[in-house]
Structure 1
Amino acid sequence: MVREEKLVAWVQVTPQAEAQGDLKDAYDAVKGSDGRVENLYLAMSQTPKVIKPADDHYLALLHNPDNPLTPWLSELVSTYVAILCDCDYASANHGKNYCTYLGDSARGEQVLAALRAETWEQSIDDPAVRAALQYTRKLSLTPGQVNADDIADLRRAGYCDKGISYIVQLVSSFAYWARMINGLGTQLGDKIGL
Structure 2
Amino acid sequence: MTWIKTILYDDAEGPLKTVYDRIKGPDNHIDNILLAHSLRPHTLEGHMALYKNVLHHPRNKLPKWLLESVGVYVSLINCCDYCVSHHYEGLRTLLRDDERAKKMRQALESGMPAHAYTTKEAAALDYAAILTREPGKITEQTIDIIRQAGLEDGEILEVNQVTSYFCYANRTVLGLGINKEKSMLGLSPSTGEADDWSHG
TM-score for both structures, normalised by structure 2: 0.87
* Residue equivalent to 1:147: 139
* Amino acid across the alignment from 1:138: I
CA contact (8 A) 1:30 1:52 kept: no
Deviation at 1:25, TM superposition (A): 2.0
* Residue equivalent to 2:69: 76
Deviation at 1:105, TM superposition (A): 1.0
CA contact (8 A) 2:65 2:91 kept: yes
Q: Report how many aligned residue pairs link the two structures.
A: 186
Percent identical among aligned pairs is 32
CA contact (8 A) 2:70 2:163 kept: yes
CA contact (8 A) 1:99 1:108 kept: yes
Is the aligned partner of 1:16 residue 2:16? no
For 2:159 and 2:117, the matched residues in 1 are separated by: 19
The 5 Å alignment of 1:61-140 reads: 61-121=54-114, 123-124=115-116, 126-140=118-132
Is the aligned partner of 1:45 residue 2:38? yes
Detail structure 1 runs of 4+ shifted over 6 Å in the superposition. Answer: none
* Amino acid across the alignment from 1:129: E
* Amino acid across the alignment from 1:74: L
Say which structure, 1 or 2, has more relative contact order (CA 8 Å, 6+ apart): 2
* Residue equivalent to 1:170: 162
Post-superposition Cα deviations, 1:110-133, rounded to whole Å, max 9, x if no partner, equal 221231232444x23511111011
* Residue equivalent to 2:190: none
Post-superposition Cα deviations, 1:60-106, rounded to whole Å, max 9, x if no partner, equal 11111110101110100111111111111111111111122222111
CA contact (8 A) 1:72 1:102 kept: yes
Deviation at 1:33, TM superposition (A): 5.0
Deviation at 1:35, TM superposition (A): 2.6
For 2:34 and 2:117, the matched residues in 1 are separated by: 37
Two-structure CA RMSD over aligned residues (Å): 1.5
* Residue equivalent to 1:3: none
**Larger Rg computed on CA atoms:** 1
Which ranges of structure 2 fall in alignment gaps of 5 or more residues? 188-200
